[in-house]
Amino acid sequence: MMKRKIMAACGMVILAGFLLGGCGSVESGNVRTTAAVEGYQNPDAKESCAAENVWKEQESGKKGTDGGKPHVVLQQKETEVSEEDTEAADPYAQLLKDPEAMAADKIYAKETAEPGKTRIVFAGDILFDSHYAIMASLLKRGQGIEGGISADLLSIMRSADIFMVNNEFPYTTGGAPTAGKKFTFRADPKYASWLFDMGADLVSLANNHAYDYGEVSLTDTLDTLEAIGMPYVGAGRNLDEAVKPVSFIANGKKITFVSATQIERTLPPDTKGATETTPGVFRCLEIGTLLEVISAAKADSDFVIVYIHWGTEGTDKIDRWQQEQAPQIAAAGADLIIGDHPHVLQPIGYQGDVPVVYSLGNYLFNSKTLDSCLVEAVIRDEGLESLRFIPAKQSNCRVAKAEGAEKERIINYMRSISPEAVIDDEGYITKQNAQ
């Protein structure tokens, strides 16, 4: 690459008696001179020739003709900064200067609470449909999202550098419920702002309820989230939009999120997959396109997270589609795999060195009493530094952090179903038999 040279050029200036010197700068072919009156009055004062000038003062130790004032020499100094050096220091510096390119590629700049450390928190399914128990209870309590999520969990979510959750419903007041579907959801678009109240930075729309009230319910959702500035992944107005990942640049690293859904597995599915010309979700029961997207993301990112809607509802057993796809997703370039859909917790495992959280379970979804969790990933320059399972419990239309005996019970349960992982008493996860 060509090297950029930053030049600083000022001539020698001699301060002697009543002689006043100055620096010249070239502007549109003309020389502009500034008298150095301040420098004569105070030899320590400096005036910049230009913003990028490099100044160096030297006292010669010799007496000037005035018998006392030392000469001040402003020497030319050249500093070379290569584009390679700039890119090595911050490979995304140029991209960060191009907001149009970032918006087109769904890339967001993110400042972190601690330099060099990016803390990402994941939650499972949420539901804001006022015709179902969770939202009805929240509205009755009149506390907003604080009425449904304990303060200690909210603190974890809000303090995360990036918090991601599964938005398992559309935001719309229109459309008609999908004929023959047992459960169909929708929420008034005015409640989309509650995502910010939760601390959300990114929502997944790749699920089997994003299309519950037809195409209009999905497009209304896209319009709603875009209007409030909430990033989303896993759905779009066409296939190109639906498969496009979302990335965050934090601490000089590009962290990319890919989201897709296997569900429903019936053909044709009630939840429409996006096509080249029609809106829909990113479907991945046929996994080829997903693997291509992951591979491309890996080539262009420092860390790739795949958030996938898969598994069988109501069981902690991993099904054959999860077993088939997990190793393929890891091999394609995923650094972390996060699953949801079963509405219950499922094992934490590994594909090689890639952690797989098979199901986050419900988070704030229905009135059932269920074990739940947050999962926290900490990323540094070298990659994934730590992965932590944070036990929680959904009960009485509210989710709270598990403590004491309940915390111990849930962690022990996760240990019992996760033979590939070691989970310590604080929920930190490592690979079994890791050297």
Q: Record the pTM.
A: 0.80
125-151 pLDDT tens trace: 999 999 999 999 999 999 999 999 999
Residue 84, pLDDT score: 55
Looking at the fold, whether 36 and 157 belong to one and the same domain comes out as: no
Average pLDDT over residues 39-66: 35
Counted domains in the chain: 2
The mean predicted confidence, pLDDT, of the chain is 85
Say whether pLDDT at 4 is over 50: no
Residue 209, pLDDT score: 97
Average pLDDT over residues 226-253: 98
| CATH number assigned to the domain comprising residue 251 | 3.60.21.10
Looking at the fold, whether 82 and 96 belong to one and the same domain comes out as: no
Looking at the fold, whether 107 and 173 belong to one and the same domain comes out as: yes
Quick one: which of 231, 156, 236 has its CA closest to 195? 231
Residue 90, pLDDT score: 80
Looking at the fold, whether 205 and 225 belong to one and the same domain comes out as: yes
Looking at the fold, whether 179 and 289 belong to one and the same domain comes out as: yes
Among 64, 86, 108, the domain-final residue is 86
Strand pairing category for 280-281 and 246-250: unpaired
Looking at the fold, whether 229 and 80 belong to one and the same domain comes out as: no
Q: Which residues span the domain enclosing 371?
A: 92-431
Looking at the fold, whether 65 and 168 belong to one and the same domain comes out as: no
Residue 76, pLDDT score: 39
Our CA angle for 138, 141, 145, nearest 5°, is 45
Residue 433 pLDDT grade (very low, low, confident, very high; cuts 50, 70, 90): confident
Looking at the fold, whether 38 and 146 belong to one and the same domain comes out as: no
Residue 33, pLDDT score: 31
Among 27, 60, 86, the domain-final residue is 86
Looking at the fold, whether 81 and 175 belong to one and the same domain comes out as: no
Looking at the fold, whether 112 and 54 belong to one and the same domain comes out as: no
